[in-house]
Amino acid sequence: MKRTWLFIFSTMLAVVIAFYSKKNPHAYAYKTPTWKTFEKVSSKKISGYQTTEKELEEARVSRPKRSIAQEKSKTERVTLDLRSELPKDRPYQLREGRIVIGDIGSKDFQDGEADLEMVNKINPDWKEVLGNDLLRFQQEDTKVLIKEEFPMIKIQNGKGQYLEQVIVTYLFKNGNFSSYHALVDSETGFVTETWDKTVHEKVRAAGAGLTLPDYNNSGIIAR
C-alpha cells in the first residue's frame, strides 16, 4: 500500500513539474543582474523589471557558452568587481573597480597612484533614470532593455567622470527592434555617447515623410 502511494506521489510530482515546465518555459529565465527591462505601460507609467528570456530572444540577443579559459578568467577577475568580463587586449587601468578611459596620456590613474577630482557621484538609481528618459517620448508598449556592461571613469580635462557602459535595445510593439552601445553618466543617468548603431540593408527605405511647407512663414531670416 505504501508503495502504491509512493508510485502515485512520484507520478503526480512528475506531472506537476512537467506541467509547470511546459506552461512557463521562461520561469528559468536568463537571470543576471546586468539586464533590466523598462516598459512604457501608459503615457504616465513606466515599469521596470528583470529582463525575460523571451525579450532577449525578441532582441536576438545571444548568450554564447563560455570557454573554460573564460570561466577561469572570470573567477580571477571577481576581485576587480567588474560586472562583466574585462578583455585582456590592452593593459587597462582600474580605479575603484572601474575601467579608466579618456585622456589618460602617460599618467597612472590606478588606485592609490594619483589623486583625481571627480565631477559627479554614483547614483544607485541611474538605470531607472535612464530607462525613464529613453521611453519618455516613445509610444505606449515600447520596451527598452538595458544591459549593464562595464563601469568606467572617463578622464577629461584632468577630471574624472563616473560612467556606465551599457547596451540599449528598443523593442517595439510591431516586433521591430534596434540596439546601440551607450555611455551613461552614473549620477544623472543621461546618455553621453552612443556607438554601434545597427546597419540595415533596406534599400530605398521609406524616409521620414517630412514635406517642406509651401512657403516659409516662420519669419526666419537666413543669410
Partner 1 sequence: MKSVTSIFNLSAIALVTLVLSSCVPNVATSPRSRASSGLGSANVGLYQGAILADNPILLTHNANIDDTYDLNRLLTVASITNDSFLRGNTSCFGLQYCFEVRANKDSPSALQTADGKWGYRVATPEFLQTNTFYHLNRVTSMFYTNLSKSFTRAYSGNFPIYKTSLPLTLSPFANMFNVSNNPLIAYADCDAPNNSFFDRANQTLCFGYIAGKKTVKWAQDSTVVYHEAGHFFQKFQLNIRNPLVGPHADMGNIFYDEAGSLGEGLSDYYSYYVNGRSHFAEWAAGRFLQASRPMSESDPIHTAGLSTDPDQRLSYPQYVGYDPNFPTLPTEDIHLSGMVVSHYLVALTVDLQTKCAMTQRDASDLVMHLITETLAEHGDLSSNGVQSVTTQNRINLSPTYARDWVQKVNPVTYRSFMQTFAKNLMNNLGSPLLNRCNGGVYSNDQIEALMDQYGLLLFRTYNENRNLSTPGIVSNTPVNSINRKKSVLITKNLLILDPTTNASSAFVIDNQAQIQAGITALQSAGLMTTPLSSQTPSDLGFNNNNGKVSPGEVVAIALNLYNNSNSTMGGVQILASDWNHADVTGKPCQFPTTISNDQWPLLTEGGVPCNTVSAALPTDFAPVCFVQSTNATSTQWISQKDFMTKMALDPSLCLDPTNGGKDCFMRAVKGADQAHYSKLNSKSTWAKTMADPTTGKAPSLNWGNVLLFEVSKHIPPGTVVDCRLRVRFTNCDDCYHDANKSNYDFTDTDYNGPRPYKIIHLQIPIID
Give the nearer residue to partner 1 in terms of CB position, either 113 or 193. 193
Minimum CB distance to partner 1, residue 188 (Å): 8
Dist. CA 166–CA 163, nearest whole Å: 10
Residue with Cβ nearer partner 1 (43 or 79)? 43
Whichever of 81 and 196 has its CB closer to partner 1, that residue is 196
Cβ neighbours around 1 below 10 Å, total: 5
Collect contacts of 174-177 with beta carbons under 8 A, ≥24 apart: 175/58, 177/58, 177/59, 177/60
Q: Measured from the CB atom, is 15 or 50 closer to partner 1?
A: 15
Q: Which H/E stretch holds residue 127?
A: helix 126-135
Residues 6+ apart with CB under 8 A from 211: none
CB of 70 to partner 1, least distance (A): 6
